Chains A and B, each alone.
Chain A
Amino acid sequence: MTRYILRRVAAMVVTLWFIVSATFVIMHAIPGDPFVTEARLPETVLANLRAYYGTDRPLGEQYVRYLGGLLRLDLGPSFKSDTLGVNEQIALGFPVSAQLGLQALVLALALGLGLGMFAASRAGGLVDGFTMLVGTLGISVPSFVVAPLLIDLFAVRAGWLPVAAWGSFASTILPTVTLAVAPLAYIARLTRASVLETLGQDYIRTAHAKGQPPLRVLVHHALPNALIPVVTILGPITAGILVGSFVIEFIFGIPGTGRMLVRAIFERDYPVILGSAVFYSTLLLAFNFAVDLAYGVIDPRIRVERSMS
């Protein structure tokens, strides 16, 4: 197991290095100087700016410097903000995005699993039809359609919730719901399909035959196996929630890393774009790794295979 973990961590470092290099090259392959704006700064000021940020150095040197900074967990200064470096911007924004993402994940998991299981246990019924409808609409209707609708209905017309302000719990409700819609739909569909398949297995028939109560068969016999596919997609889903929040942060005016990235792209703030890519990739790799480790706990068969290889 230790060897497996070490090997995975080494592979992650290599992947991360690839990602950093690729993004670095893309960022520097574009013609144009990020400091040249409509404001027309004097040449001496531009020279000072370039010297300060090191963009007057040869590319190779900038690259080595950047990698050196990464080793010290330093993502460098931002082009557009004098006071906040990339690290500080992420440190400010990420807790907000993480809170939003976590709330959405909990909501999506609770409702998605519930709906999916209930629908499968009464396949063909009313709840099942409803779940399939939610499952299709949820992955098809984009968040930038859902959000304005929710804002108009619940904030503007009904006046129950605040409009575009981040702070109180009430202000997080609409963005959380919007962000949860798509993953909820995925989880509900997957859970339904997986439970349905498990319920057709022989050992479930055996459990019924020996007189186990239906609810016990569902919860104790079917669920543990049916949940494995759901765990499989938890990594990508969590990543999707984290990354996918930038449209929602943009609409609701939430000061998270998503809005930071969109702003950075408009302002051509390359260090922030590069830093975001590095930060999100690390997060994504770590998530997938954690999920892979979790399989072993949930499914003993995988643990055995791994220890034998």
Chain B
Amino acid sequence: MIGTKSRDTLAEAVADADALAPASSRPGVLRALLGHRTGVVGLVIVVVVALVALAAPLLAPDDPTRVDALRRLAPPSPDAPLGTDNLGRDILSRLIWGARLSLGTAGLAALLILTIGVGLGMIAGFYGGLLDDLLMRVVDVLLAFPALILALAIAGVLGPSIASVMIGIVTVAWADYARVMRGQVLAARERQYVEAARATGVRDARILARHLLPNVLPPILVLASLEMGGLILTISGLSFLGLGAQPPTPEWGAMLNDGRAFIGSAPQLMLFPGLAISIVVVGFNLLGDGLRDAFDPHLRD
């Protein structure tokens, strides 16, 4: 047993030496991101909105679902800083709770997509053979599918709710990650550090998790940040159509649909949720662009 143990450490030492180049530049990535003007703006937006979402119960001045017939469609006032909607609910409170819902659902969907996509992609790329062929067939079919239509159909079949929208999206969206990841692993598999690790008897699962994953992760992180923006757009879009969040849930897309009838008389109903969605998505897109530039050594030098 002692023998295997020391062999394992040796392999890791060899592998680490091989992996040193990308690993040592990792602090540089953060510095590069912080030196990237628009990337920092994106980072700040994302962090602020995430904090608002986390602290929603503390920040929201009112119950987001409390109906008050006496102050319907009220313009912004000290009582309701962003005005009230057609049922007299406080728009600011609904926006703050909506941040929790939007970031929460998009974040959970992104996590599921990444876990499934990265996991299956790595396994396919690492083992190859029949398993790889089968998985890639499925991926091809999913990529040829009009993803939004399948998501719509699944959401429709399961009945309108946020959960069915998420299931619909995750079902199709993992395929892209699986393909990217498989390509990355295929390329990395032939690298010396993997060969060294394998030669010294490191188990497959350990090679995948400890040696391959850290080296193929950067492009996935960039994709994920850009994906978050797209996810927020899709989820709120389906809620706007009435297929996602159901009333009285404070969801940005659903709020926009509620406000459609009042755009002329009470524009705050559409204006503020519209701004909220746009700002958050801009934030994730800027962060994604910044990350991409930061990870790209050509651009950094």
Contacts and interface: CB of A to CB of B under 8 A. Distances in A.
Interface of A: 15, 18-19, 22-23, 26-27, 29-30, 136-137, 139-145, 148-149, 151-152, 156, 239, 243-244, 246-247, 250-251, 261-262, 264-266, 268, 273, 276-277, 280-281, 284-285, 288
A35 to B, nearest CB: 16
Contact of A144 (B154, B158, B240): B240
B144 A284 contact: yes
A281 B153 contact: no
B237 A288 contact: no
Contacts, number: 116
Contacts of B225: none
Given A136-B282, A144-B253, A148-B270, A23 B146 contact: no
B154 A26 contact: yes
Interface of B: 38, 137, 140-141, 144-146, 148-150, 152-158, 229, 233, 236-237, 240-243, 253, 256-257, 260, 263-264, 267, 270, 274, 277-278, 281-282, 285-286, 289
Nearest to B154: A26
B281 A140 contact: yes
A19 B175 CA distance: 14
A265 B278 contact: no
B278 A145 contact: yes
Given A15-B141, A23-B153, A277-B150, A142 B236 contact: yes
B277 A22 contact: no
Nearest to A146: B274
**Max count, chain A CB within 10 A of own CB: residue among B156, B242, B285, B286:** B156
Main DSSP-derived SS at the A contact region: helix
Contacts of A247: 237, 240-241
Contacts of A29: 157
A141 B148 contact: no
Nearest to A283: B146
Nearest to B159: A30
B85 to A, nearest CB: 15
Contact of B281 (A142, A148, A239, A281): A142
Given A265-B152, A265-B243, A239 B237 contact: no
Given A27-B157, A140-B282, A145-B256, A277 B237 contact: no
B145 A19 contact: yes
Contacts of B270: 145, 148
Given A19-B144, A29-B157, A140-B285, 15 more contacts: A15-B140, A139-B285, A141-B278, A144-B237, A144-B256, A152-B263, A152-B264, A244-B148, A247-B237, A250-B241, A261-B152, A262-B241, A266-B242, A284-B144, A288-B144
Q: 4 closest pairs, A vs B, by CB?
A: A265-B156, A145-B274, A140-B281, A140-B282
Contact of A18 (B141, B158, B237, B257): B141
A264 to B, nearest CB: 8
A151 to B, nearest CB: 8
Contact of A284 (B146, B233, B237, B264): B146
